[in-house]
Homo-oligomer: A and B are copies of this chain.
Amino acid sequence: MSEQVQSNGKIINDPVYGFIDIRPGIIYDLVEHPYFQRLRRIKQLGLTNYVYPGTMHTRFQHALGAMYLMGLAIDVLRSKGHNISDEESTAVMIAILLHDIGHGPFSHTLEHSLVTGISHEDLSIILMECLNKEFSGQLTLAIEIFLDNYPKHFLHQLVSSQLDMDRLDYLRRDSFFSGVSEGVVGSDRIIKMLEVSDDKLVVESKGIYSIEKFLIARRLMYWQVYLHKTVIASEQMLVNILLRAKELAGKNEDLFATPALRYFLYNNINKEYFKAGSDKLTESISCFTQLDDYDIITSIKIWATHHDKALSVLCYRLLNRKLFKIRISNRPFSSEEINSFRKKAENSMGLTTEQAQYFAGSDSISNFAYDPGDYHINILYKSGEVTDISKASDMLNTETLSKTVTKYFLYFTI
């Protein structure tokens, strides 16, 4: 009654949903694959545990949870008369299981430092294609759905849209582990109200309040958890550590690093390294799939005694949670302000001007509650009419809803 092979597959105990069954077959085999097992070593929310200590949960758990919800959604749509073949069902389960397979450790942070110019979505595709070769084409349909190249577009929307199983799982799961109970989303209820109209995933009109609630809960999770200022401070410190380490590596300074991390530190890894046909592709994939939270944190522990003062101080502080101070504003901060903080750091800590740059700076964060992109949340009325939620709801401010909110932050040490 736990994560263990049974005669008929595996049953996983999930504190969020209870039991998750995995039957023998391609899905079982993918879960067992080292690429997927690696997700056990990547926390879903990076450094958020510095603010919400319960958020130690991993991308492994999230991927399984999203797949579980997909199973429920398929059952609901079938029960409402929509034809979904067993092949399609398996493919869409695979697509959601692997949708995050391209995430590296502290993903958003790394994208600002070590692995630039290539998104985790691109990497997910690259890894899915590797796996497809290994499993003799069994993932072909899943990849088509993932890329939205498959005619039944509602299947893609279950994987990736404003109301996909990814979001439904992560909001609920992150809320559960953070203890921010207000972020809880009624995933069961929303799934019960899913429908398909004109090949689009829609929500029955009686679900309108649940969708409003979902959008508000998501917004709350963004500002209260994902973009919490202490989380931002931690992540910025990690970015600066990695940038400094890369700077030093560029000067051929000696730095402790696992082989996989060394590859990303001592090379300027970018899109070219992951291009199909590139002679570096194999090595890049191999190194990438060996990288996880452990490489990063262990290096930081060792770097805390490095002779470069900028690197060692930042590492010591991150480890012991002496984080940057943060100011948030609706307007950009002036370079004078930033420089005055850098100057202070330089003087008080005995740093060089170059080193001091890593101790104060500014950047922006943004979020939109609801992205009016290709795949809206559509409400289906009994009349058959379909309307976007931003019009269907008289409660939500439609402008705010679709407007990107950008906030600027200034970080510094004192």
Contacts and interface: CB of A to CB of B under 8 A. Distances in A.
8 contacts: A2-B51, A2-B52, A15-B177, A37-B320, A43-B56, A54-B57, A184-B184, A209-B219
Contacts of A15: 54, 176-179
Interface string A186-206: 101100110000000000001
Number of copies: 4
Interface stretch (A94-102, A246-254, A297-305): A297-305
A276 interface: no
A212 interface: yes
Contact of A32 (B14, B177, B321): B321
Nearest to A290: B301
A301 to B, nearest CB: 6
Nearest to A292: B301
Interface of A: 1-4, 8, 11-16, 18-19, 32, 34, 37, 40-41, 43, 49-54, 56-58, 60-61, 64, 79, 176-182, 184-186, 188-189, 192-193, 206-207, 209-210, 212-213, 216-217, 219-220, 223-224, 228, 230, 256, 258-259, 290, 292-295, 297-298, 301-302, 319-321, 369, 394-398, 400-401, 405
A231 to B, nearest CB: 9
Most buried by B among A3, A19, A50, A256: A3
A395 B219 contact: yes
A6 B156 CA distance: 28
Contact of A192 (B1, B177, B179): B1
B216 A212 contact: yes
Contact of A58 (B53, B256, B297, B394): B53
Given A182-B213, A210-B224, A290-B301, 16 more contacts: A2-B224, A3-B50, A3-B230, A8-B79, A13-B180, A19-B188, A32-B320, A54-B61, A56-B58, A181-B184, A182-B184, A294-B297, A294-B298, A394-B400, A394-B405, A396-B397
Given A3-B53, A294-B297, A302-B259, A182 B178 contact: no
Nearest to A177: B15
A182 B186 contact: yes
A321 B369 CA distance: 39
Nearest to A261: B298
Contacts of A8: 79
A52 B1 CA distance: 10
